[in-house]
Structure 1
Amino acid sequence: MKYRTYLTTLLYSFLLGLILPASAQNSLQHQKDSLRHALEHTEGIDKLQTYNKLYYIYMAEAGDDQKMDTLMTLFEQAEAEAIRQGNTQMQGMVYGNRIISYINRSEHDKVIEKAPAYLDFYIRHDLWKFYYQIHMQLITAYNLKGDYELAAAEAGKMYTRARERKDKAGMATALYATGIIYNLQRRPKEEEDCFRESISLLWEVSGYDNILTQSYAFLCVSLRAQARYDELLQLVPEYEKAIARFEKATGRVQPEARGNLYVALMNTYIDIKEYDKAGIYLSKLEGSVSNNMLKFELLRAKALILQSRGDYRTALAVIDSAVIQVQESAFNLNAVRKIKMEILARAGRNDEAFSLLDEIIAANDSINNVEVNARFDELRTQYEVEKHIAEKERNFHYFLFALGICLVLVLLLAGVFYYNRIISTKNRKLYERIKEQDRLAEELSRMAQACESTASSEVLPQTSDIAATVEQHRLVARLREYLLSGDNLSNAEMNRDEIISALGTNKNLLTDAVRAVTGNSPMEYMRMLKLDEARKMLDHHPELTIEAIAFSCGFNIPSTFYRLFRKQYGISPAEYRKQANKL
């Protein structure tokens, strides 16, 4: 189960939607006609059950607007009949199925409009299982609209009501809903805590095995996000026991629950590079997945497994097909690019790998901005959640006005603390991404050098264009060696004519070579090289001041160095050094 696919697991509804083949349409119409005829000749609970069967058929066809109109009419008729008979159980069922129908059509505003009145009805008539199910649908609607503050507030209401009733199933359901909100906000530790507590409560109740197995699936996601693979693998026997309990209670195999476990194990073994074990679970999943996001997961896993076996051609074909499944997200697309770049590099297709590296770096710049904005949104959401909790506490202790003021001040201080924490987390991620790019660049450089000896004997004679490309790489390498030798890098007065003379070339050849290899002009390349050298000195020379490093790398004005460093890496030199000193 991967990120947004979790929303399908929230809809533990009263109906399993069926896709009916064309050959069954006549039979289906016959059922509808029979049930409509039965409505005219039945009374009491039989009539309500007939309505129930009829609108279940239409719920499976609710994607059709005309059928949806018919379904809404049936709901109104069934509701009126249930009210006439005074059957609150069947009336509550009508309300629940109406909400499910809106959810299945992604009519989230309708859910938000109708659900509160239905929840009040369930509370008045002690229909608590309906209440928890439909409250989950309301939280789902807010999540799908991106209103996480309101989703968290509703989860808080659900938990409070369940706790007042000492209802463990309701408390577990509310914790499950809260864990999903944390999953959306990419807060794996808080997500883990919610799902562990939910699981603990669900083992003590019956009738909620679907939520129990889904809680284990989400717990695996949070542990994998924290790279706690040993704990995830130790969780498997307990997870399997929960699935077995679910299957025993329902009397049938639960392929979705088992599939979520297999996906978690497949991805975990890929993360720890035990590809043969990952292949076992890939085989179990292939042919049984219809969700596009899960199809992407399987294709990604298959490409990595094929790469580990040296079958680069097939791996490239598989990862290219995965692009079709991936959602339009820079995060997902960059993940595909990284896998493809690694395959290309291992296959010796270095030019293509370098080209992909440029795309990854460019995408990373935009991702940085997205991540920073997401972190600030997360801070605002977390503040609102904590504020909501504080307001509930003040409802219990409203007479302590002074305590209420103190709580507000504590929240404000907490907001400052969380802000500083988020900025620190952003800087750490930027630093780790820079180091990862260093590692990728070094690996590609080694591969390029390994291939150069064969390229010089086999590739050079083929065409003059390829020979020119190799010569350009060599000229850039000589330029780099010259700049890094002696005091050349720190010489802010050094001009291009001196460099051209030292390299024994001319202006056009040097410019063309640098642009062909790096995509930059010689002066831009020199500036990037100076910044890169300064960054390495920040890593390895804590005894030097930042100003001293700036001067030693040819920046006479420290403020210019600060500005260019932040523009290049998205982080200031001081912040970069702070992260380096932590490692």
Structure 2
Amino acid sequence: MKTKTFLSVFLWGYLVCLTMPALAHNPLQHQKDSLRRVIEQSEGIDKLRSYNRLYYLYMSEIADDRKMDTLLTLFDQAEAEAIKQGNAKMQGMVYGNIIISHINRNEYDKVIQKAPDYLDFYIKNEQWRLYNQIHMQLITAYNLKGDYKQAAEEAEKMFNSAKERNDKAGMATALYATAITYSIQKRWKEEEHCFRECISLLWEVSGYDNILTQSYAFLCSSLRAQAQYDEILQLVPEYEKAIARFEKATGRTQPEAWGNLYVALMDVYIDTKDYDKAGEYLTKLENIVSNNISQYELARAKALIYQSRGDYRKALAEIDSAAVEVQESGFDLNAVRKIKMEILCRMGRVDEAFVLMDEFIAANDTLKDVEINAKFDELRTQYEVEKHIAEKERNFHYFLFTLGICLILVLLLVGVFYYNRIITIKNRKLYEQIKEQDRLADKLFLLSHSSDTPTSSVHADVTPEATTGTCDAPVVSSEQYNLVERLQEYLLTGDNFLNADISRDEIISALGTNKNTLTEAVKSVTGKTPMKYMRAMKIEEARKMLDKHPELTIEAIAFSCGFNIPSTFYRLFRKQYGITPAEYQKMAKSQKK
């Protein structure tokens, strides 16, 4: 009977042990089942919120591939319901959680594949906060894949988009992403510059205090890498204000933010070998109830502080603990070995230190190869990024150069247009003056025919001063008028006008006079020498032909008026009338239209 009772108790105990894990999972499963029932029975926003709560439960289990498959199915269902209800806000939240789930599973290719479409959705619906967050995740995916060039391009695209809409939070987030890209490449100066700009913008906006405090932490890390310890200490008051603002906005303490500050200060004092100060911040770190500070960092700091105080036993225990916690890289493990060697030497355990030195040297050779390759990769990536930036700058300069040329051409065209307009106005005025002189000459001709003056047929080029009989001009006799009139008739008769080689002797012989008499008569009547008078007559006749015969070329008219060389005709015409033959002909044609 006792045996039976014992077996019964044992079996019940065994069954309880077997069912304990199931019982532990029952509350979570119960929540899932409950939410599924709510989804089936609810409508509208309640249904979408239930979907939201349900997929958050599964997001905590995404390490399990089967749970991830279920989660993706839930995302599809939630998306379809949000589209059905026309709820863009909930639809955007679904897309954001899809990207975060892939990031948490290190599925960077899927992030790169899906994020662009989601970003377009956020732009279309002006969901800029989600746009900034998911664009950050896309940049993170490129960084973790080692594609720093693409990460930099996306960050620049994000910054320009935010700048266009004057979104300081978006600009700050883009600068944060850019700084992280520089940090991975160990480009400390560029990282520092970006984080300082990011911090400056974030102080002007609200709702981004988490990123603000993280930016201070990263900035301290960058300054530490450049050994700018005084700069870090100067940042502390600002850093503390940022954490205080973060706590006020959230209504709760932020141990992780304080922990990052204390780590930064602890590292500063360890690097400057002020171990007492470092110990103070180490104590503050240990007093933070919930922090995510690296146990490796804490153990390493403790080892150095104990070593500085001569407590080598505790220092050795802590550095061994740090070696266990090393997960970052072989570089950290070798740093641990270096500290441990120094502690062993101070403890007099030289043989152990030598053994450790052999391990250090062997690992260091491998690490050098890795480091050199990493440097080459970094230089190659930096070259590609800087090449891309240089190409963009060159294209921008080309654009400015082309724009400048276009502006110059436009100015030249405007100048030519303005100049032509001025010339046209001037030519029109000259043409009108010439035509007015023609009208005056015609009136003078009519008046001369109605009087007894023997100048009826003298060419219109005769100046008024030559006929007034004032004390400044010689008195002109009727014989002189007749002689000039006969000269004019002779020139206009037959081909004499065309004869460019006609000599003065031929003219004198034809008129039956002598050189002195002809010269004196022409000069008295016209004020010109006979040759200049004849040349003026030819140009005058050419001008009349330009009026009467617009179909003729200027060269043909020049030849018909006795000018064998057109350029001479052009020069003399312009000198006489202040306008070229071509311009005069153009004006004459325009007046006839």
TM-score range, shorter chain: 0.5 to 0.7
1:327 aligns with 2:327: yes
Q: What letter matches 2:299 in structure 1?
A: L
SS at match of 1:90: helix
Q: Please provide the CA RMSD for this pair.
A: 2.4
Query: How do 1:94-133 residues align onto structure 2 when only pairs under 5 Å count?
Result: 94-133=94-133
SS at match of 1:224: helix
User: Which residue of the partner structure matches residue 239 of structure 1?
Assistant: 239
Q: Take 1:123 and 1:170, find their aligned partners in 2: how far apart are those partners?
A: 13
8 Å CA contact 2:256–2:290 kept in 1: the answer is no
Q: What letter matches 2:177 in structure 1?
A: A
Query: How do 1:85-484 residues align onto structure 2 when only pairs under 5 Å count?
Result: 85-286=85-286, 294-327=294-327, 329-393=329-393, 399=399
8 Å CA contact 1:292–1:325 kept in 2: the answer is no
Deviation per residue, 1:458-515 (Å, 9 max, x gap): xxxxxxxxxxxxxxxxxxxxxxxxxxxxxxxxxxxxxxxxxxxxxxxxxxxxxxxxxx
Q: Take 1:27 and 1:358, find their aligned partners in 2: how far apart are those partners?
A: 54
8 Å CA contact 1:289–1:295 kept in 2: the answer is no
Q: Take 2:81 and 2:244, find their aligned partners in 1: how far apart are those partners?
A: 40
- The 1:81/1:395 distance shift into structure 2, 3 A limit, reads farther
Deviation per residue, 1:288-335 (Å, 9 max, x gap): 699998110111001111111111122112211211111373311211
In the TM superposition, residue 40 of structure 1 has moved relative to its aligned partner by 2.2
| Range that drifts further, 145-154 or 224-233 | 145-154
SS at match of 1:189: helix
User: Which residue of the partner structure matches residue 445 of structure 2?
Assistant: none
User: Which residue of the partner structure matches residue 436 of structure 2?
Assistant: none
Deviation per residue, 1:197-218 (Å, 9 max, x gap): 1000000001111100000000
8 Å CA contact 2:75–2:98 kept in 1: the answer is yes
In the TM superposition, residue 365 of structure 1 has moved relative to its aligned partner by 3.3
User: Which residue of the partner structure matches residue 507 of structure 1?
Assistant: none
User: Which residue of the partner structure matches residue 543 of structure 2?
Assistant: none
- The 1:271/1:22 distance shift into structure 2, 3 A limit, reads farther
User: Which residue of the partner structure matches residue 578 of structure 2?
Assistant: none
Q: Take 2:187 and 2:306, find their aligned partners in 1: how far apart are those partners?
A: 32
Q: Take 2:304 and 2:226, find their aligned partners in 1: how far apart are those partners?
A: 21
- The 1:401/1:381 distance shift into structure 2, 3 A limit, reads farther
SS at match of 1:348: coil
Q: Take 2:201 and 2:135, find their aligned partners in 1: how far apart are those partners?
A: 19
Q: Take 1:237 and 1:291, find their aligned partners in 2: how far apart are those partners?
A: 21
SS at match of 1:40: helix
Q: What letter matches 1:301 in structure 2?
A: A
- The 1:399/1:221 distance shift into structure 2, 3 A limit, reads closer
In the TM superposition, residue 255 of structure 1 has moved relative to its aligned partner by 1.4
User: Which residue of the partner structure matches residue 531 of structure 1?
Assistant: none
Q: What letter matches 2:237 in structure 1?
A: P
Q: Take 1:293 and 1:107, find their aligned partners in 2: how far apart are those partners?
A: 26
8 Å CA contact 2:111–2:138 kept in 1: the answer is yes
Q: What letter matches 2:160 in structure 1?
A: T
8 Å CA contact 1:282–1:298 kept in 2: the answer is yes
Q: Take 1:50 and 1:396, find their aligned partners in 2: how far apart are those partners?
A: 51
In the TM superposition, residue 402 of structure 1 has moved relative to its aligned partner by 8.0
Q: Take 1:377 and 1:364, find their aligned partners in 2: how far apart are those partners?
A: 19
In the TM superposition, residue 88 of structure 1 has moved relative to its aligned partner by 1.1
Q: What letter matches 2:263 in structure 1?
A: V
User: Which residue of the partner structure matches residue 480 of structure 1?
Assistant: none
- The 1:393/1:126 distance shift into structure 2, 3 A limit, reads farther
Q: Take 1:124 and 1:397, find their aligned partners in 2: how far apart are those partners?
A: 32
Q: Take 1:345 and 1:22, find their aligned partners in 2: how far apart are those partners?
A: 54
SS at match of 2:273: coil
In the TM superposition, residue 372 of structure 1 has moved relative to its aligned partner by 2.7
In the TM superposition, residue 378 of structure 1 has moved relative to its aligned partner by 1.8
User: Which residue of the partner structure matches residue 40 of structure 2?
Assistant: 40
Structure 1 residues without counterparts, runs of 5 or longer: 1-20, 404-583
- The 1:355/1:401 distance shift into structure 2, 3 A limit, reads farther
Q: What letter matches 2:356 in structure 1?
A: L
Deviation per residue, 1:260-279 (Å, 9 max, x gap): 11111111111111212212
Q: Take 1:289 and 1:186, find their aligned partners in 2: how far apart are those partners?
A: 32
8 Å CA contact 1:122–1:128 kept in 2: the answer is yes
Deviation per residue, 1:168-199 (Å, 9 max, x gap): 11111111111111111112111111111100
In the TM superposition, residue 391 of structure 1 has moved relative to its aligned partner by 4.6
Q: Take 1:328 and 1:168, find their aligned partners in 2: how far apart are those partners?
A: 34
- The 1:402/1:313 distance shift into structure 2, 3 A limit, reads farther
User: Which residue of the partner structure matches residue 51 of structure 2?
Assistant: 51
Q: Take 1:51 and 1:366, find their aligned partners in 2: how far apart are those partners?
A: 51
- Percent identity between matched residues is 77
- The 1:394/1:130 distance shift into structure 2, 3 A limit, reads farther
Deviation per residue, 1:526-580 (Å, 9 max, x gap): xxxxxxxxxxxxxxxxxxxxxxxxxxxxxxxxxxxxxxxxxxxxxxxxxxxxxxx
Q: What letter matches 2:212 in structure 1?
A: L
In the TM superposition, residue 29 of structure 1 has moved relative to its aligned partner by 2.4
User: Which residue of the partner structure matches residue 60 of structure 1?
Assistant: 60
Q: What letter matches 2:383 in structure 1?
A: Y
Q: What letter matches 1:347 in structure 2?
A: M
Deviation per residue, 1:79-115 (Å, 9 max, x gap): 0011111111111110001111111112222111111
Q: Take 1:200 and 1:360, find their aligned partners in 2: how far apart are those partners?
A: 43
- The 1:158/1:44 distance shift into structure 2, 3 A limit, reads same
Q: Take 1:306 and 1:101, find their aligned partners in 2: how far apart are those partners?
A: 43
Q: What letter matches 2:76 in structure 1?
A: E
Deviation per residue, 1:349-378 (Å, 9 max, x gap): 233334434443444333333333222222
SS at match of 1:96: helix
SS at match of 1:286: helix
8 Å CA contact 2:176–2:215 kept in 1: the answer is yes
- The 1:398/1:114 distance shift into structure 2, 3 A limit, reads farther
Q: What letter matches 1:300 in structure 2?
A: R
- Count of aligned pairs between the two proteins: 383
Q: Take 2:316 and 2:281, find their aligned partners in 1: how far apart are those partners?
A: 21
Q: Take 2:187 and 2:62, find their aligned partners in 1: how far apart are those partners?
A: 36
- The 1:389/1:231 distance shift into structure 2, 3 A limit, reads same
| Range that drifts further, 239-248 or 320-329 | 320-329
8 Å CA contact 2:255–2:290 kept in 1: the answer is no
Q: Take 1:322 and 1:154, find their aligned partners in 2: how far apart are those partners?
A: 38
Q: Take 1:234 and 1:22, find their aligned partners in 2: how far apart are those partners?
A: 54
Q: Take 2:330 and 2:381, find their aligned partners in 1: how far apart are those partners?
A: 23
Q: What letter matches 2:98 in structure 1?
A: R
Q: Take 2:70 and 2:194, find their aligned partners in 1: how far apart are those partners?
A: 41
8 Å CA contact 1:149–1:381 kept in 2: the answer is yes
| Range that drifts further, 248-257 or 29-38 | 29-38
- The 1:115/1:291 distance shift into structure 2, 3 A limit, reads farther
8 Å CA contact 1:188–1:222 kept in 2: the answer is yes
- Report the TM-score, using the length of structure 1 for normalisation: 0.62
In the TM superposition, residue 31 of structure 1 has moved relative to its aligned partner by 2.2
8 Å CA contact 1:293–1:325 kept in 2: the answer is no
Q: Take 1:267 and 1:234, find their aligned partners in 2: how far apart are those partners?
A: 15
Q: Take 1:293 and 1:340, find their aligned partners in 2: how far apart are those partners?
A: 22
8 Å CA contact 2:259–2:291 kept in 1: the answer is no
8 Å CA contact 1:323–1:333 kept in 2: the answer is yes
In the TM superposition, residue 33 of structure 1 has moved relative to its aligned partner by 2.2
SS at match of 1:205: coil
In the TM superposition, residue 59 of structure 1 has moved relative to its aligned partner by 1.2
